[in-house]
């Protein structure tokens, strides 16, 4: 049986997705964004381009498709046939926009959520608007999560951080320091594990504006995009544009148009250059719902009309699972063949869960996910049955 495995570790914070150099069967590379290089560990975050060599430079030309990949620093200059050495699988970044590369039968990813540096003290003192002036606890927990992910064997193909990287809202006093210290904590991630970031409400503001979205993109990369892993299509969405786009309606319209194109292509594609995905996975910060698609509107879910619209479109396109954070507790359920997976945080816990990450195993037929505490992952790794799936 062909088994495709994602190890997904959810830290409650901004969605980070790291995609390793041997990650992809095929990927569209038709857009580019600024690259952010974490100097320690040689990790490049947010690099996408049609150019043959990226490094940490800006590249020219964009595309409305927003299909892209993240490149590792030691990989960027190997793009093209010269970099495809025997026994290696490199995504070839060229003007064709897409290049098929031999895939692997097994792969894993990690998906943490909500580090949210600064919330733990703010929650204790009851000042969640201005009290986030200390964040050493969250920094230490993030380092522990990175250590746990690095110890996994085989290593994850990528790591997604599912929103709310920091607690300080845009243009507030502690924002710069929290972002700086989070980046420093993430530097310890093994350079073979790429990072992908998902935008949360604290990253963009509860009511985002063109300015706050631009600030986020400058610091962490694009707010929505797609990529392929082992024949699986992954869609990263800006859920704040679903929640309240009153101050940036054009940005909401742009994401809606792009998303419709992605879902339409995924449900109809079958050619050799654009194969039909084995699964479609969605990553967004705010959950569609917590327990039921019919539940009342709440701070921690999307409004019913919005969620129903998305659910209908996701099901029609064949989306298998939606992964979210935001709630700082574990929740979610399967409904109508679609998994709504809500993971608790690396950082502040608002319920009875422990600090941890979610491990997700994707097979040819199913998506299996399980939340692990940081203590367990650091001591003995993922559960044995999931490990055996990776070795099958």
Half-sphere exposure of 119 (CA within 13 A, CB side): 21
At residue 114, what are phi and psi to the nearest 5 degrees?
40, 70
| DSSP annotation string for 210-272 | HHHHHHHHHHH--SSEEEEETTEEEEE--THHHH--TT-HHHHHHHHHHHHHHHHHHHH--SS
Q: Which helix (H) or strand (E) holds 357?
A: strand 356-362
Domain count, the chain: 1
What pLDDT was estimated at residue 116?
86
What pLDDT was estimated at residue 125?
86
Question: Can you give the residue range of the structural domain that contains 208?
Answer: 12-21+103-391
The pTM assigned to this predicted structure is 0.78
What pLDDT was estimated at residue 291?
97
Q: Does a structural domain hold residue 17?
A: yes
As a whole number, mean pLDDT of residues 250-258 equals 98
Q: Does a structural domain hold residue 70?
A: no
Q: Does a structural domain hold residue 207?
A: yes
Q: Does a structural domain hold residue 209?
A: yes
Cβ-count burial 163-198 (b if 16+ within 10 Å, e if not): bbbbbbbbebebbeebbebbbebbbbbbbbbbbbbb
What pLDDT was estimated at residue 362?
79
As a whole number, mean pLDDT of residues 210-234 equals 93
Residue 105 has pLDDT above 80, yes or no: no
Q: Could you tell me the pLDDT band of residue 22, with boundaries at 50, 70 and 90?
A: very low
What pLDDT was estimated at residue 66?
59
Q: If you compute the radius of gyration of the chain from its CA atoms, what whole number of angstroms results? A: 19
Q: Does a structural domain hold residue 302?
A: yes
As a whole number, mean pLDDT of residues 290-301 equals 97
Q: Does a structural domain hold residue 97?
A: no
Q: Does a structural domain hold residue 212?
A: yes
Least confident of 76-80, 173-177, 258-262: 76-80
CA nearest to 198, candidates 234, 176, 166, 224: 224
SS (H, E, C) 264-331: HHHHHCCCCCCCCCCEEEEECCCCCCCCCCCCCCCCCCCCHHHHHHHHHHHHHHCEEEEEECCCCCCE
Which residues, including other chains, have CB under 8 Å from residue 80's CB and lie 6 or more apart?
Answer: 52, 92, 93, 94
Distance CA 347, CA 341 (A): 18
What pLDDT was estimated at residue 324?
97
Residue 140 has pLDDT above 80, yes or no: yes
CATH number at residue 247: 3.60.21.10
Least confident of 200-209, 226-235, 314-323, 360-369: 360-369
Least confident of 17-21, 233-237, 272-276: 17-21
The pLDDT tens digits of the residues spanning 299-342 come to 999 999 999 999 999 999 999 999 999 999 999 999 999 999 99
Q: Does a structural domain hold residue 183?
A: yes
What pLDDT was estimated at residue 196?
87
Q: Could you tell me the pLDDT band of residue 41, with boundaries at 50, 70 and 90?
A: very low
Half-sphere exposure of 125 (CA within 13 A, CB side): 13
At residue 2, what are phi and psi to the nearest 5 degrees?
-75, 125
């Amino acid at each position: 049986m062909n088994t495709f495995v994602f190890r997904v570790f959810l830290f409650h914070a901004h969605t980070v997705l790291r995609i390793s150099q041997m990650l992809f069967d095929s990927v569209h590379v038709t857009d580019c964004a600024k690259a952010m290089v974490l100097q320690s560990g040689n990790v490049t975050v947010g690099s996408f381009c049609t150019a043959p060599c990226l490094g940490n430079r800006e590249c020219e030309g964009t595309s409305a498709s927003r299909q892209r990949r993240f490149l590792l620093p030691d990989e960027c200059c190997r793009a093209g046939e010269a970099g495809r050495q025997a026994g290696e699988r490199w995504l070839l970044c060229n003007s064709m926009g897409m290049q098929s590369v031999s895939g692997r039968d097994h792969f894993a990813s990690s998906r943490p959520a909500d580090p949210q540096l600064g919330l733990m003290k703010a929650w204790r003192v009851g000042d969640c608007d201005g009290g986030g002036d200390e964040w050493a606890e969250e920094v230490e927990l993030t380092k522990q999560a990175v250590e746990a992910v690095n110890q996994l064997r085989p290593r994850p193909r990528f790591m997604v951080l599912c929103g709310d990287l920091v607690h300080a809202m845009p243009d507030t006093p502690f924002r710069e320091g929290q972002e700086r210290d989070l980046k420093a904590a993430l530097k310890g991630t093994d350079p073979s594990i790429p990072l992908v970031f998902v935008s949360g409400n604290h990253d963009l503001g509860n009511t985002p504006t063109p300015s706050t979205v631009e600030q986020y993109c400058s610091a962490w990369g694009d707010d929505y995009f797609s990529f392929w892993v082992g024949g699986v299509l992954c869609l990263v969405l800006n859920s704040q544009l679903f929640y309240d786009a009153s101050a940036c309606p054009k940005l909401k319209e742009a994401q809606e148009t792009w998303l419709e194109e992605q879902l339409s292509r995924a449900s109809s594609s079958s050619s050799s250059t654009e194969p039909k995905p084995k699964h479609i996975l969605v990553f967004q910060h705010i959950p569609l719902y917590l327990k039921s698609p019919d539940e009342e509107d709440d701070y921690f879910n999307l409004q019913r009309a919005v969620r129903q619209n998305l659910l209908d479109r996701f099901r029609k396109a064949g989306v298998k699972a939606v992964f979210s954070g935001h709630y700082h507790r574990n929740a979610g359920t399967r409904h109508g063949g679609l998994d709504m997976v809500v993971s608790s945080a690396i950082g502040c816990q608002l319920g009875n869960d422990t600090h941890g990450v979610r491990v997700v195993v994707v097979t040819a037929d199913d998506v299996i996910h399980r939340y692990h505490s940081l203590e367990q992952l650091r001591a003995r790794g993922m559960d044995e049955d999931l490990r055996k799936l990776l070795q099958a």
